[in-house]
Each structure stands twice: as C-alpha cells, then as structure tokens.
C-alpha cells in the first residue's frame, strides 16, 4: 500500500525533555487511513496533526466500537531511535479488532508506516532519562448511524506524544485498594481487548481509591470476586518465596506486552514463573506466613510499578517494608536497559527505526 506524506508548514516548538509529563503534548504529524466495505483499508497518509471531523451520529461516539494500542520509541545514548516489540502491539491490535468486529489491518504495513512517521518526527523523541515517545495507534467506527451493528467504515490513526513518567510516584511503591463491589471486566466480555470501554469502566473505582488515599485499584474477577486480575491499567505479579506468579489469561485480563516480557525474561534467567489463578485469600495468607516477598504491576506506560501496600476491607498488608524489591528492580533495569539500548537484548526484542 502507498503512503503519502504531507508535511506541516507550522512546526511547533519542542518541549523541555526534563519537564515532560504524560500524554499532554503531541507531535507535528499523524498517520491516517480509512476503511470502507468496497475499498478495504486505503488512503494511508502522513499529514499535519489535526482534528478528526465527525458527524454527531458517528457510531464510535455512541457505541464505543473502537480499539487502541500503546507502545513507545526510545532514544539511545548514540542517538539511535528504537521500538520495543512493536509487532506484539499490532498483533494485539488485530486481536482486539476481532473481538470488537473491526476489520483487521496489515501488521507489516502498520509497522512500516509507523517507522516512517517516527522518522519524520525523530526530533520529537526525547533524550532525558526515562523519557520516550509514546505511540497511540487507534481505530474508531465512523458510520453516521444510530442502529446497533458493526460499522461499515473506520478510521485508523496514529498520534505521537513525548512523555516522562506516567505515575507521579515514579518507580516508588504504590498503595492499592481492593475493590469488592465494582469490577472492570467479566469472563466473556471485552476485558482482554484494548478497547476504550474497559478504561471508562475503571474510572469510578479509581476515583474511590483516590478518595481513600490509594493510587490504584486491585481488580478482582467479575464472576466470583475472589481471584486477582489486574492493578489499575496494568497486569499484576507477585513473588511468593522464590516463585514469580501472575494471573493466567482468562479472557477478562489484558494480555500485556510488558507482562509477556517479564515472563520471558524470568524464564530466560531460569527463574520459576507461573501463570495461574491467584486468590486474594492466598495473597493474604502468604503475607501472614511471611512468604509474600513482592508485588508489582507491569505495563507499557510505567514498565514495572512496585506495590507497597494492599488494603482489602479492614485488612491492610505492607509488602517488603514498602520498599522496591530485588525482583521488581532487576526486571525494571533489564527491560528499560533493553529499551534504551544500554543492555544486551538477549531475546531480540528491539526494532530500530529507519
């Protein structure tokens, strides 16, 4: 497929790398592509960053038929720009598309066109420690129609945002609250798809956690409300004795790329890592027995986020004295080392841009 490029004539000033927040600034260009039943995916184009015009009846606005991804481009010390496992994100985008009845995109083209967009915007990839260029590929249903069915037209777009830390806590341990009455997703629902509704569904519990002085919500399964699923918008891991444990993918958990990378690295290090159901009771018991060593979240935005405290009802447990543990630290160092080209890339995850 051809990719046309229209350059912006009004380039924005670049931000100060040392002062970047998350998701507030956007680069000069974006990628757009449209889908119709007759033409399939077509008219791929890099254009100046700008609004998407929508009829007020646009289906995405009413029924939320859409999917998105999140990945990052990193600047190495030598100035090379690189991506971390981008093929995994496009594979997951298509998996989310299948769940949401959205036509899949060509994964090779998605990667090639992303590389072209980033090449054009390479001066926007920040160089200060722990900064990166966050990439947001998105697909939304575009038919102006109020009946409930899958749309016949779609827009794919990619926007880029220079970012610093996602959480104000940075890499320091966060306090999380178990929510018992609200759930994020249910088995058979859309929890494993990266679709906007899952994030909307998380907001009320997130607000209640904040009001109670907690950073994140620890989500229980939506059927028995017994098993742990995710933390905030991240996957969750525990270290019990010498074993790393994470909930198995059950249909309501997002298959995180960082999650997959943590599991692969731990296996590469010959460390025991298990994917299985984990109940909240098991974690409380392991804490009481002294075998719960660490807990941490994993995600693209924060990479590894240590958990220092979990509150469930009247039960409050403190993990590893509210300090970052050695497993979380080793994983954070290894993954960010690979991403920024400071460490060996033993599993071949880095993809250079241009």
* Candidates 1-9, 151-159, 295-303, 335-343; binding stretch for ligand COI (CB under 6 A): 295-303
CA 49 to chain centre: 22
Q: What's the min distance (Å) between Cβ of 233 and ligand COI?
A: 4
* 65 or 300: CB nearest ligand COI: 300
* 220 or 234: CB nearest ligand COI: 234
Select the residue interacting with ligand COI from 120, 205, 301, 335 (CB under 6 A): 301
Contact between 189 and ligand COI (CB under 6 A)?
no
* 103 or 299: CB nearest ligand COI: 299
Select the residue interacting with ligand COI from 191, 299, 308, 325 (CB under 6 A): 299
* 240 or 295: CB nearest ligand COI: 295
* Candidates 1-9, 40-48, 112-120, 296-304; binding stretch for ligand COI (CB under 6 A): 296-304
Rounded to 5 degrees, φ, ψ at 206 are -60, -40
Contact between 70 and ligand COI (CB under 6 A)?
yes
Contact between 21 and ligand COI (CB under 6 A)?
no
Contact between 300 and ligand COI (CB under 6 A)?
yes
Please work out the total of residues on this chain that contact ligand COI, with binding judged by CB under 6 A. 7
Closest residue to ligand COI, based on beta-carbon distance: 299
* Candidates 46-54, 211-219, 299-307, 340-348; binding stretch for ligand COI (CB under 6 A): 299-307
Select the residue interacting with ligand COI from 20, 117, 234, 353 (CB under 6 A): 234
* 48 or 168: CB nearest ligand COI: 168
Contact between 135 and ligand COI (CB under 6 A)?
no
Select the residue interacting with ligand COI from 141, 183, 233, 263 (CB under 6 A): 233
Contacting residues toward ligand COI, per CB under 6 A: 70, 233-234, 299-302
């Amino acid at each position: 497929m051809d990719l046309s490029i229209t350059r912006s004539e009004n380039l924005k000033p670049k931000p100060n790398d040392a002062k970047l927040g998350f998701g507030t600034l956007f680069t000069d260009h974006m990628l757009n592509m449209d889908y119709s039943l007759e033409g399939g995916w077509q008219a791929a184009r890099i254009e100046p960053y700008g609004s998407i015009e929508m009829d007020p009846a646009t289906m995405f606005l009413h029924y939320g038929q859409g999917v998105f991804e999140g990945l990052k481009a990193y600047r190495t010390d030598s100035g090379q720009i690189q991506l971390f496992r981008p093929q995994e994100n496009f594979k997951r985008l298509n998996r989310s598309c299948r769940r949401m009845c959205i036509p899949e995109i060509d994964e090779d083209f998605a990667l090639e066109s992303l590389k072209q967009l980033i090449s054009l915007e390479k001066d926007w990839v920040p160089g200060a420690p722990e900064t990166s260029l966050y990439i947001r590929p998105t697909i939304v249903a575009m038919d102006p129609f109020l009946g409930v069915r899958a749309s016949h037209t779609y827009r794919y777009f990619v926007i880029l945002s220079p970012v610093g830390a996602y959480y104000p806590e940075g890499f320091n341990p966060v306090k999380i609250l178990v929510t018992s009455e609200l759930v994020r997703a249910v088995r058979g629902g859309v929890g494993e798809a990266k679709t906007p509704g899952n994030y909307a569904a998380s907001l009320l519990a997130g607000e209640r956690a904040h009001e109670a002085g907690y950073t994140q919500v620890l989500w229980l399964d939506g059927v028995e409300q017994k098993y742990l699923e995710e933390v905030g918008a991240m996957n969750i891991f525990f270290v019990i004795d010498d074993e790393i444990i994470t909930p198995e993918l059950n249909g309501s958990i997002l298959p995180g790329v960082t999650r997959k990378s943590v599991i692969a690295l731990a296996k590469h290090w010959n460390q025991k890592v298990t994917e299985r159901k984990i109940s909240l009771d098991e974690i409380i018991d392991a804490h009481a027995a002294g075998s719960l060593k660490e807990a941490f979240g994993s995600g693209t935005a924060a990479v590894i986020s240590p958990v220092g405290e979990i509150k469930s009802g009247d039960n409050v447990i403190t993990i590893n004295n509210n300090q970052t543990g050695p497993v979380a630290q080793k994983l954070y160092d290894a993954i960010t080392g690979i991403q920024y080209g400071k460490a060996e890339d033993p599993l071949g995850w880095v993809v250079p841009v241009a």
